[in-house]
Structure 1
Amino acid sequence: MKVKRFLVLFTLSLVLLAILSYFSITEGTIKIKDEQLEKYLFEGTSGNAITDQIIGKLRLPRTIGAIIVGLGIAVAGILMQGYFRNPLADPYLMGVASGASLGVVLYIFTSVLFKMGIPHSIYGFIISAYVGSLITMFVVINIARIVKQTATLLICGIMIGAIASGLTTLVVYTGDYIGEENSKLAGYFMWGMGSVNNLTWPQINLMTVLIIPTVILAYIFLSKKLDANLLGEKYAISVGVDVKNLRKWLIILSCILTATVVAFAGPIAFVGLICPIVARMISKTSKHTYVIPMTAVLGSVFVLFADILTRPGVIVPQSSNNLPLLSPLSIIGAPIAIAIYLKVRKMGI
């Protein structure tokens, strides 16, 4: 019965994702007609050079980028919740995403400061984001060893994120004093609130190569171990799970996913918190064999929907500017996060 329910829900989620993808490609300041999109997809051209540019260089990268970003950060959330055995663990709220952001901004700052000429290196972005996320993750882990209460751990994570965000702002503003290249730093304020509208095909290709295999590895090798870990460390050990090794891989994989997303799209809020919980609720199971793929699709749906809302004129009438993803994600995600926290607190977790 669980398998049948999962297959129905998973299929419906994919259908919803397909519908949102269609609107993401066709809707905007310039509307793409159905016949133009169909012709472009099947023949490689819509018959209009400008329309081809809009679809191929703007709408498609943005749509696919949102899907990959949502998938990656949602699965990072479920891995982090598995590590802490805490439904409120999330890359954004625990400060890991902010740590990755700080790493990226420091990389840009030092490359500009020392005239290294590499502020736009894709690999530099990723490596710096990995370092920043890992350092922040280890800080959170050490705090978690001391703090046992969910509320206190959550507050500590938020404070760590606030410190990282404050340092990021300081570095960006310091860029005003290092010469004409400062615009490369100042331009990252929009990125710092989450955005997929400037992604390029090389970035999407690299992001896909890093995120998809990581998600597949987590699903194949960690699903059953995460199920055992949910029942407690002693139970996991009794059924043959190497808990230390499991935790090591949960840290590595969640940081890879979080840092890769942040390097290209900035910090993505609340997706890693909400999607795993919604996946468990609608699937009516905590088995990660079902929850991980459902979480991945819901993450893509959530980010793609939020990105559509950021388009000019959708939320703010007559606007010609894109909103950052943080705006709709926070408006939708924060109330859900509060409801989850109150429920968790009522349960005494």
Structure 2
Amino acid sequence: MLISFLLLSIFFLSILSITTGTIKIEPKKFYNYLVEGTTGNPIYDKIIKCRIPRALGAIFAGMGLAIAGLLMQSLFRNPLADPYLIGVSGGASLGVALYIFTSLLFKLGIPQSIWGFIISAYLGSLVSMFIVLALAKKVKQITTLLIVGLMIDYISSGLIRIVIAFSNFLGVNNEVLASFLMWRYGSLNSLILKEAIIMSIFVVICCSITYLMSKYLDSYLLGEMYAKSVGVDIKKLRIFIILISCMITATVVACVGPIGFIGFMCPIVARLLCGTSKHIYVIPNAMLIGAVFLIISDILVRPGVVIPTTSKELPLMCPLSLIGAPIAIIIYLKIKKMGI
């Protein structure tokens, strides 16, 4: 029942996403575009072609980040864990920044492609993840570990700003800097169909593998001793969680930039709505909830939606942080009461 409701919500929100913006398109014209291949107006046709990848990207980025967050929470056995808070997203962003600007600064002539973005983001996220895991062996409290993750994210942000400063000093094209800064705050605005399709394929594959591993994840949540008793290889499972979560995060970051709170909020909401922590139920619901959250956020940040007179788009972090931060505070206070 819940899945049906979420699927229906995604369907209507996707239509709203394609028809809402600075220039509004009537649903009837969009229907004509789907049936006949044109609205009868070339301007509307072009707008729809630009908005379809955006809606598609919001759906699959939301799904992917929700599962990446769920995997982080399962790995650390704590609802506060999230790729953004742990520093994985920051490491991926640093990897992309170095990939973009190193070639420009040193005139290496490295061709920039979506695959280069994904690989560099993946390497950056893995480095951050391994640093956090290395420190996790020495740190017992998860809250301390989360602070360490935030510090890694701040270090990544500082290094990115240094790279940007050098790029600006050495006369890198201002358009490149402007587009990178917009990407840095998370945006679906510049997403093209090719990138949306690549991202959706990666996300679907990773989420499918995660769903097939749901029983192993359930046993891991019950404790390492129990997981070992039922035949789970703990080391291999941890490597699996790290690789899949980093791959999802890196792919999304490479395509639409770092987006926080989706990976943190959606697994929690999914558990509350499902009334269970079993991954076989939580995974599909978390995916759909992530898609719903990100589509709504993407609609709210568009020019003329929240602020009627503006012509500039807001960063995705604006609505997401307003929703996610209060949830984080409530959960943190509950954890403190439990003495964790």
What TM-score does the superposition give when structure 1 sets the normalisation length?
Answer: 0.95
Cα distance in 2, alignment partners of residues 241 and 174 from structure 1: 49
The residue that corresponds to 1:231 in the other structure is: 222
Say whether the 8 Å CA contact 1:92–1:270 is kept in structure 2. Answer: yes
The residue that corresponds to 2:61 in the other structure is: 69
Structure 1: segments with no counterpart, 5+ residues = 1-7
Say whether the 8 Å CA contact 2:64–2:287 is kept in structure 1. Answer: yes
Q: How does 1:329-348 map to 2 (within 5 A)?
A: 329-348=320-339
The alignment status of 1:240 with 2:238, answered yes or no, reads no
Q: How does 1:157-236 map to 2 (within 5 A)?
A: 157-181=149-173, 183-220=175-212, 222-236=213-227
Cα distance in 1, alignment partners of residues 306 and 109 from structure 2: 38
How many angstroms does 1:231 deviate by?
0.6
Cα distance in 2, alignment partners of residues 210 and 329 from structure 1: 23
Aligned residue identity for 1:60: I
The residue that corresponds to 2:269 in the other structure is: 278
Cα distance in 1, alignment partners of residues 106 and 113 from structure 2: 15
The residue that corresponds to 1:4 in the other structure is: none
Q: How does 1:38-187 map to 2 (within 5 A)?
A: 38-56=31-49, 58-118=50-110, 120-181=112-173, 183-187=175-179
The alignment status of 1:25 with 2:18, answered yes or no, reads yes
Q: 2:307 aligns with which of 316, 322, 327?
A: 316
The residue that corresponds to 2:2 in the other structure is: 9
Q: Which moved more, 1:37-46 or 1:224-233?
A: 37-46
| SS of the residue 2:83 aligns to | coil
Say whether the 8 Å CA contact 2:15–2:27 is kept in structure 1. Answer: no
Q: How does 1:246-265 map to 2 (within 5 A)?
A: 246-265=237-256
Cα distance in 2, alignment partners of residues 85 and 269 from structure 1: 19
Cα distance in 2, alignment partners of residues 158 and 314 from structure 1: 32
Cα distance in 1, alignment partners of residues 40 and 287 from structure 2: 35
| SS of the residue 2:85 aligns to | coil
How many angstroms does 1:37 deviate by?
0.6
Cα distance in 1, alignment partners of residues 252 and 83 from structure 2: 11
How many angstroms does 1:337 deviate by?
1.1
How many angstroms does 1:181 deviate by?
3.3
Cα–Cα, structure 1 residues 180 and 156, in superposed 2: closer, same or farther, change >3 Å? closer
Cα–Cα, structure 1 residues 293 and 158, in superposed 2: closer, same or farther, change >3 Å? same
Q: Which moved more, 1:107-116 or 1:255-264?
A: 107-116
How many angstroms does 1:182 deviate by?
5.3
Cα distance in 2, alignment partners of residues 87 and 34 from structure 1: 39
The residue that corresponds to 1:5 in the other structure is: none
Aligned residue identity for 1:89: A
The two structures, once aligned, show a CA RMSD in angstroms of 1.2
The residue that corresponds to 1:3 in the other structure is: none
| SS of the residue 1:108 aligns to | helix
Q: 2:28 aligns with which of 31, 35, 49?
A: 35
How many angstroms does 1:180 deviate by?
4.0
Say whether the 8 Å CA contact 1:25–1:55 is kept in structure 2. Answer: yes
Say whether the 8 Å CA contact 1:108–1:185 is kept in structure 2. Answer: no
Say whether the 8 Å CA contact 2:92–2:120 is kept in structure 1. Answer: yes
Cα distance in 2, alignment partners of residues 271 and 83 from structure 1: 17
